[in-house]
């Protein structure tokens, strides 16, 4: 079942069939209809490989992420795929984990597959310990096809590179949230985080911004890094607590960690939000699970993901796009804060 069968059935040449298939105007209405009905009758669909061979495109983009089961990334992937398919692109998913080598080979795999573009979902691709040439594989790839970072940032102003970043204004969001806690009278605020990704460090900066603006000291004991799970967050606060360092608020870089904070408070009979205010990040489903429910910073996954795809589509269509697109976050107030 190929284009020849259709051309035979319709009594035209394969060129005409191809023209109909690709919406070429140079076809009379009569023949177009004849061809279309032949296509329908034979239930013909063009062979992607042959088409790809000629056009060098498969109408697919690669989505790379560290872990698609992470709640934030799972949402990002959902929105990315939905938007991509809206533009008739398929999504090829690649979970790389945190190993640098795996990332490179994943990227290479996608390049070899001749995808039309690549989306790097999640801030984990840009992190402190990447090293000087840690992003070379991205830069190089961006010379071959457009690459969009979702919630990560890498400068795309190098010549010959098509590298774009779409992200949320994390720093400003945390700064604003921290400022509100300070205004509400909190003085001993803990900042709880896990990774050293671009986004994570950015949030941390936002926290210190707020402290500086308020003229409050940023004490290193209150910047607490822990493993990325409930127990890690809780444990970190336990340690601080037993060392008798007072704290009256917690800002977490992820709802998961904020859940740990709620559990810590519960275990010690500390009242939330009266004695301890807690703010999470991502505004994920986890924020609705605790008691009281978490106030959380919404970093707009859907919006960011959608814009990332739109941007990519535009570039794939030969258009241009700004290398940086920043979306504002939104504080969703629930019951772990008083303001």
Partner DNA sequence: TTGTATGCGTTATCAT
Partner DNA sequence: ATGATAACGCATACAA
Report the interface residues with a second copy, using CB under 8 A. 45-50, 52-53, 56, 58, 60, 63, 67-71, 74-75, 77-78, 81-82, 85, 90-95, 109, 111-114, 230, 256, 259, 262-263, 266, 285-286, 288-291
Q: How far is the CB of 60 from DNA (least distance, A)?
A: 16
User: Of the two residues 52 and 235, which places its CB atom closer to a second copy in the complex?
Assistant: 52
Binds 213: which of DNA, a second copy, none (CB < 5-8 Å by kind): none
Q: Which is nearer to a second copy, 91 or 166 (CB)?
A: 91
H or E, element range at 241: helix 230-242
* Residue 39: φ, ψ to 5°: -60, -45
Pairwise CA distance, residues 45 & 26, whole Å = 21
Query: Strands across the sheet with 330-332, in order?
Result: 223-225, 189-193, 249-252, 277-281, 295-298, 330-332
For the bound state, the minimum distance from the C-beta of residue 301 to a second copy, rounded and expressed in Å, comes to 9
Number of Cβ atoms within 10 Å of the Cβ of 231 = 12
Give the Cα separation of 74 and 132 in Å (integer).
Answer: 30
Comparing CB distances to a second copy, the nearer of 46 and 235 is 46
Least distance to a second copy, CB of residue 68, Å = 5
CB of 105 to a second copy, least distance (A): 10
Least Å distance between CB 221 and a second copy?
27
**Quick one: tokens of 44?**
């013909």
N residues, the chain = 339
Say which entry of a second copy, DNA, none residue 297 contacts (CB below 5 to 8 A, set by partner kind): none
Tell me which of DNA, a second copy, none is bound by residue 2, counting a contact when its beta carbon lies within the kind-specific cut-off of 5 to 8 angstroms: DNA
- State which residue, 194 or 202, has the beta carbon closest to a second copy: 194
Query: Which residues bind to DNA, rule: CB under 7 A?
Result: 2-4, 11-16, 18-19, 21-22, 25-28, 30-32, 44, 46-47, 49-51, 53-55
User: Token digits for 266?
Assistant: 């519960």
Give yes or no for a cis peptide into 273 (omega within 30° of 0). yes
Compute CA distances 120 → 19, 92, 189, 288, 317, whole Å.
36, 12, 33, 28, 19
Q: How far is the CB of 14 from a second copy (least distance, A)?
A: 16
Under 8 Å between Cβ of 71 and 282 = yes
Helices and strands, number each (H, E), in the chain: 12, 12
Residue closer to a second copy (CB basis): 70 or 170: 70
CA–CA dist 189, 223 (Å, integer): 9
Residue (48 or 93) nearer to DNA, CB: 48
Q: Which is nearer to a second copy, 90 or 314 (CB)?
A: 90
Minimum CB separation from DNA for residue 35, in Å?
9
Calculated CA dihedral for residues 65, 140, 53, 106, nearest 10 degrees: -30
């Amino acid at each position: 079942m190929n284009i020849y069968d259709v051309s035979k059935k319709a009594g035209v040449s394969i060129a005409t069939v191809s023209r109909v298939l690709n919406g070429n105007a140079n076809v009379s209405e009569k023949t177009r209809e004849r061809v279309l009905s032949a296509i329908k009758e034979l239930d013909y669909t063009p062979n992607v490989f042959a088409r790809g061979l000629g056009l060098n495109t498969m109408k697919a983009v690669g989505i790379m992420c560290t872990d698609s089961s992470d709640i934030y990334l799972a949402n990002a992937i959902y929105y990315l795929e939905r938007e991509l398919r809206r533009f008739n692109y398929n999504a090829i998913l690649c979970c790389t984990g945190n190993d640098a080598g795996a990332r490179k080979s994943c990227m290479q795999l996608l390049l070899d597959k001749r995808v039309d573009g690549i989306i790097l979902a999640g801030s984990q691709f840009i992190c402190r310990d990447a090293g000087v040439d840690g992003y070379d594989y991205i830069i190089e790839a961006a010379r071959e096809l457009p690459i969009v970072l979702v919630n990560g940032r890498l400068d795309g102003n190098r010549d010959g590179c098509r590298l774009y970043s779409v992200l949320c204004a994390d720093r400003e969001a945390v700064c604003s949230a921290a400022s509100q806690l300070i205004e509400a009278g909190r003085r001993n605020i803990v900042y709880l985080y896990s990774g050293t990704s671009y986004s994570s460090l950015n949030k941390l900066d936002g926290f210190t911004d707020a402290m500086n603006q308020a003229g409050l000291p940023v004490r290193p004991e209150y910047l607490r890094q822990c493993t990325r799970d409930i127990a890690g967050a809780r444990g970190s606060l336990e340690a601080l607590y037993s060392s008798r360092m007072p704290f009256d608020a917690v800002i977490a870089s992820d709802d998961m960690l904020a859940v740990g904070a709620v559990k810590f408070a519960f275990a010690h009979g500390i009242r939330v939000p009266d004695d301890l205010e807690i703010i999470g990040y991502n505004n994920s489903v986890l924020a609705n699970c605790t008691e009281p429910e978490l106030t959380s910073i919404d970093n707009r996954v859907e919006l960011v993901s959608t814009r990332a795809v739109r941007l990519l589509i535009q570039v794939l269509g030969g258009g241009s796009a700004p290398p940086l697109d920043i979306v504002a976050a939104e504080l969703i107030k629930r019951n772990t804060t008083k303001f």
